Amino acid sequence: MESIIRATCVYIFLLIMFRIAGRRTLAETSTFDLALLLIISEATQNAMVGDDDSSLTSAFLVITTLIFIDIAFAWLKIRSPKLDRMVEDQPVVVLTHGIPNKTLMRACRITESDILAAARGQEGIETLHQIKYAVLEANGQISIIPEKSA
């Protein structure tokens, strides 16, 4: 029972922390983000398994619990848009017809450089004026819709 409770607590805690941290956190894994991810996983491992329990059964139960909670959340989110909005961020249009929405961008912690980087990568776009919409997606990625496609 303890493994299940520990895994559930860690899942909910991480869900809340990443919800607070925002969608851009760890969205694009830089070297430092990767190091941060490893530190988080190391810290959560001890919290989930505990000092005393190094059994195979405990590891299997923790994995089963985490995957099951994730499936249950996905199932509930489909059925409850309210829960979906609570748990997941919504897409945000941060740039319209080449004009960036500075307030939203500051709130979402993205810069014009981030938008341009996404634009170059996805569409080979060089300037902001060539972008019709830049959308910060729920998963933290920036989607670019070029002007020419309008």
Partner 1 sequence: MEISTNPATEARNHIFHQVGWLAMGFIIIAAIAGYFGFGGPASKATLHNEQFTLTYDRFARAETPSYLFLTAHKNLKNIVMLLPEKEMRVQGIVPEGALKGVVNDRKLVFELDANHSVALKIMPRRFGVFPISIDADGTTISFDSLIYP
Task: Please pick, from the candidates 29, 45, 64, 111, the single residue that binds partner 1 as defined by CB under 8 A.
Answer: 64
Question: Is-contact 123 102, C-beta < 8 A?
Answer: no
Please, what is the minimum distance in Å from the beta carbon of residue 56 to partner 1? 4
Please, what is the minimum distance in Å from the beta carbon of residue 43 to partner 1? 21
| Cα distance between residue 45 and residue 51, in whole Å | 10
| Cα distance between residue 69 and residue 131, in whole Å | 39
Distance (Å) of CA 39 to CA 11, 23, 50: 16, 19, 17
CA angle 8, 9, 14 (to 5 degrees): 100
Binding to partner 1 (CB under 8 A): which residues in 34-63?
A: 52-58, 61
| DSSP-derived 3-state class of residue 97 | coil
Site string for partner 1, 84-123 (x = CB under 8 A): ----------------------------------------
Size of the site for partner 1 (CB under 8 A): 18
Q: How far apart are the first and last CA of the chain?
A: 56
Please, what is the minimum distance in Å from the beta carbon of residue 110 to partner 1? 32
131 binds partner 1 (CB under 8 A): no
Residue with tokens 């694009």: 28
Please, what is the minimum distance in Å from the beta carbon of residue 57 to partner 1? 4
Chain residues in the site for partner 1 (CB under 8 A): 1-5, 52-58, 61, 64-65, 67-68, 71
